[in-house]
Each structure stands twice: as C-alpha cells, then as structure tokens.
Structure 1
Amino acid sequence: MEANEDARIEVILLGTDPEDQGCRCCKSEDRKDLRRNTSALLRIHHPSNKTSPDAPSTPLHLLIDVGKSFCEAAREFFPKHNIRRLDAVLLTHPHADAINGLDDLRVHHGKFFESNSKDKPYICTSYMIAKTIYYVSDVSEIPEETMTKILESHSGRGDGGGGRLNVLIIDTLRLLPHASHFGIAQAIHAAQRLNPIRTYLVGFTHRVTHDCWTYCCQAISQGRRSTDFEDASSSSSSQTNIYPPQARDLVVTEQDSGKSRQRFEVLLEKGVVEDYDRFTGQALRLIEADNPTPPLSNAVALEMPWVRPAFDGLLVHTSLRSSQVTDNFYD
C-alpha cells in the first residue's frame, strides 16, 4: 500500500528512566525531570486508500514496555491523547522496569514465547517501525548484524527521506558506559552510523536534569569539541545549576582551598551541584576518545547528529511519506 500524506506515526514517550525515581525527580519543580520507567506509545495512522475498503479507519496503538510506573503514566497521558485501547504490547526485555506493569493490563491471550538459545549474551529486543522509527532501549550493544540490516533496509528507500531513518530513540543511561546500557559515546556513535533525521535519548538516571542534558546535546549537535570546555570548572561564565536551592552556599571557586575543591568534586559526583559546562566537556571527551566499531570512516554519516534528551510526555510526529519530523517541545 502506498503511503499518502495522512500516513504518519506519533510517538508518545510515557517514561524515560530505567530505574526508580530519586530525590531529584521527586523534588524538582521542572516536570521534565520527573522520569518514569522507559516506555513509549506509538499511534500509527494508516494511509487512506479508496481501493482498499478493508484498511483500518482508526489508528493502531502499540505500547512498548509496561514497567512499574505504567499505570501512573497511562493515567496522565492516555486521557490527554484520547487513547482508549491498545492493539498490541511489545516488550524489550523481562526486567521489572519493562514488565512489572503487565498486571494492570488485565488481559492475557495465552501465548508465551520461549527462547531456546544458550550461552549467548542477554538479548534485549529493539524495534523498527515501518522503516521509519528505530526504538532501542536498555542495551549495551547493537550487534553488527542488526546494524547492517538496518542500514541495508534504508539504502533503497525512495520516499523522499534520502535513504535515512526518520527517528532514532536510543538508550543513554549516563555519560559512562554500563554493563547493560549505553553511555553517551556509544549512543552518539550509533546515531552517526544510522544517520537519522532526529535522535532522542532515553533511559537516563535521575541525577542529571533535563536542562543539563539539553545543554550537552546542543553542544554535541553543533559539533563542538571538549577543548571548548577545558576551563569550564574555573570559568565564571559556566552555567551552574545548584540543587536543592539551599545548597548554593556550598559552591566554591578556584581560589578556595584544596579541601573545599575536594568537597565540590564530591557534590558534583553526588548530583548536588550540577555544572553544565563541566558535564558537557566530560561527554565530549568520552565521545572523542571512544573508538567505534567499525571505524567512522566506514560509517554512513560523519557529522554529529541532531540529538536532544527525551522526557516523559514528549510527542514526536513523523511522516511515512517523507523525512518530516516534528515534536511538541523542540520545534
């Protein structure tokens, strides 16, 4: 069926955090810092086709992952978007942050899927939707076989997208890599190879605010280098955000004693003090130091991707006919 102009997909991010909510999430005045378990609702609008009277007249609703906070997220976002039913539920992996909300769905259709594989790495399923959206959460590696298939599937697209993926939604737990999650370097290098129109990061810990991630992602997209932030710790222009507000008197300057500087480092590590420039410099150093496989000389894109942090409630629209991508916050 050929996609017409009304063929589109909406992605509603129901959650962007793989773990429990922490103190910052509970106390922050910014709604975008409140992160529930990583999850997404895809609303697929079918193309109108007069020659196919059996084509669905209403959108399909696909839910990806049903974590511990699913019920809370559904109560907030389903009424806002007039979601009254689910047509399918896709699970990425059997951890609590992906399946512990299944009981709230109440219905089971009696079909179980079992894996016969042995002695292989723990597999987390990612999903390609209509060759337009690639959703990959809770991963520490994208197998080369998978990456190759994704790139090959877009090489012949003649839909005005130039052979590019429209949207990449990808796991980024923190700056450093984790045993079961991407760090910032792995996520960015994957985005460079996949070359999407837009990349949204999900799966953050609760220690870093949305504003700090946004500041960092903007620098990445602009192609800035870590050397631009070498003097961030001593620069009076550094954008420093203190949380909670009563901790502002704990911030020290370069002229303070070594003991005070050490205390400042501890506060940074604990997430009490948040320095945007310092955080961004660390992210860029990791990206520059990491050696992607295969080397980026063989990658689809060498330029830094458009990348922004997702947040609970972000709504992304993309066309099935063209490379048009918009959302309800960054546009």
Structure 2
Amino acid sequence: MEITNVTEYQAIAKQRLPKMIYDYYASGAEDEWTLQENREAFARILFRPRILIDVSKIDMTTTVLGFKLSMPIMIAPSAMQKMAHPDGEYATARAASAAGTIMTLSSWATSSVEEVASTGPGIRFFQLYVYKNRKVVEQLVRRAEQAGFKAIALTVDTPRLGRREADIKNRFVLPPNLTLKNFEGLDLGKMDQANDSGLASYVAGQIDRTLSWKDVKWLQSITTLPILVKGVITGEDSRLAVENGAAGIIVSNHGARQLDYVPATISALEEVVQAARGQIPVFLDGGVRRGTDVDHNLGVVT
C-alpha cells in the first residue's frame, strides 16, 4: 500500500509493534479526552480561502532563532525511538537534515547527543528536564553544547508524570536491549519496573518537583544556548516566560500525556501568542498531522 499521510503510518505501527510499545507511543493520560481533543480541535477551525491570487511561486522558508528552515515545520522530541525501529533517532536526525528543518532530541532518547551529532550536519535542539541532581543537568547541557546543539527545549509540565493507564496495564518498561543513552554513566539511578510503570517510577524519583521560574534563570546561568519553555498553555505563563528571559515558547500539553482535560494546544495558541506580544517566538506541538494543520496554526496567529 502506498502511504499518503501520517495517519496511515500510525495504523501500520499498530499492526507491527508489540502492544506495550505501541500503547506507550499512542496513549494519553487518564480518559484521553485531551488526546482526542488535540485532533478534533483542528476540525473546528475552518478556512476562508481567497481566490484569484497568483500562487505560481510559493516560498515556505522561514527562520527560527536565526536559522533558516525550508518550511514552518520542525520535529518535536519523542522518547525511546529505537523501540520502533533499530535506527531510531539516527533516522529522524538524517530525515530532518535532508528536509532542511530542525530536530529536537528527547533527553530520554535511545541514542545519545553525541551519536545523533555523528549522523552528519543538521540543526538540532535538545529537550531537557531539570533533575534533583543539578550536576546531571549541567553535564547534559554541556554535552549538548559540545555536540553542536543550538537550543534547549526545557520541559516544564512534568513535575509529576501523568497517569498513563495503558502503561500501567502493560507494566511498561524499556526493552532490555535498549538504554536511555544520555544517562549512561550519570548518577540518576536505574529505571526499574514498578507496580505502575517503570518509567513513572524512574521519573518520579529524579525530576525536581520544586521546579519554578527561578530555575529558568539558573539554567540561563550555566549555558549561552537559548532556552525555549515547553509546556505553556496559558496567557499568564506566556507573560512570565517573557519576563524571565525565555528565548521562545512551545505551546504544548505533552501530547496529552500529562494532565487530562486541558485544552488542545491549537485552542490555547491564540491566548499564548497574544500574551507574548511578539516579544519572543511561539511554537506549537500536539495533534499536527497534515499541512492543513500547519495552515491552521498560521491562521490562528495572523
């Protein structure tokens, strides 16, 4: 079958991947209302197309933090990609580079920042959590810098891991042939199986639940890389991100995997953009499946 859109890849993945792995990638928190809403909210935004306009020459290029991209689409971080394919993050890095866009590498990747850098040239950002052991955070940031990564996407919506019931039922653990490569040799403990989820147990014991805006300032003090605050869905937090020196905002509800019954990201976008007042760039992840979804984003903010 010739694949014509992203959704068809999901159907194939469901057929081919073990249930525990597919459910980890595809599921959301609790009732998964927000997971469904991330998609359905796009369907409520209708276009008002103008006609008889010369479109023989179309330029989709744009710039992000001064880097020129071929299109207003980047690759958001997703963890443990080698569970789906042996090439994992390597393939994603090569594809992003070939397409002329930016890949954000998850800190929970099954390939390290150094390994991804070794795939060849490309513009790459690094997704980061703040851990109780700040020396670990500093080491991760330094390695990202040395590997040529150009920005830090600081995830701020995970002081506690969302209740992902599919992972609980499946007793999700990382397959034994894989590791979280960025943490090899670091003092973060081992991700062991627990009564709910191995990943939940791991995160609960390591991510700093005291995380606040002061820590954005601290992160700025240890790196010259621009900090994008990932997980903003309100105007109030948008204004605080600007006040605290963020280089950009990523409107995100963590793929609906954290707190259920929060708005779809496309529904929150306008409020966040208006509060930012054009002072820093605003990006969005969640629910994007087609080029028309990208047009929806552009329509909301213009």
TM over 0.5: no
For normalisation by structure 1, the TM-score amounts to: 0.31
The structure with more strand, counted as a fraction of residues? 1
Q: Which of these two proteins has the greater Rg computed from alpha carbons? A: 1
For normalisation by structure 2, the TM-score amounts to: 0.33
The structure with more helix, counted as a fraction of residues? 2
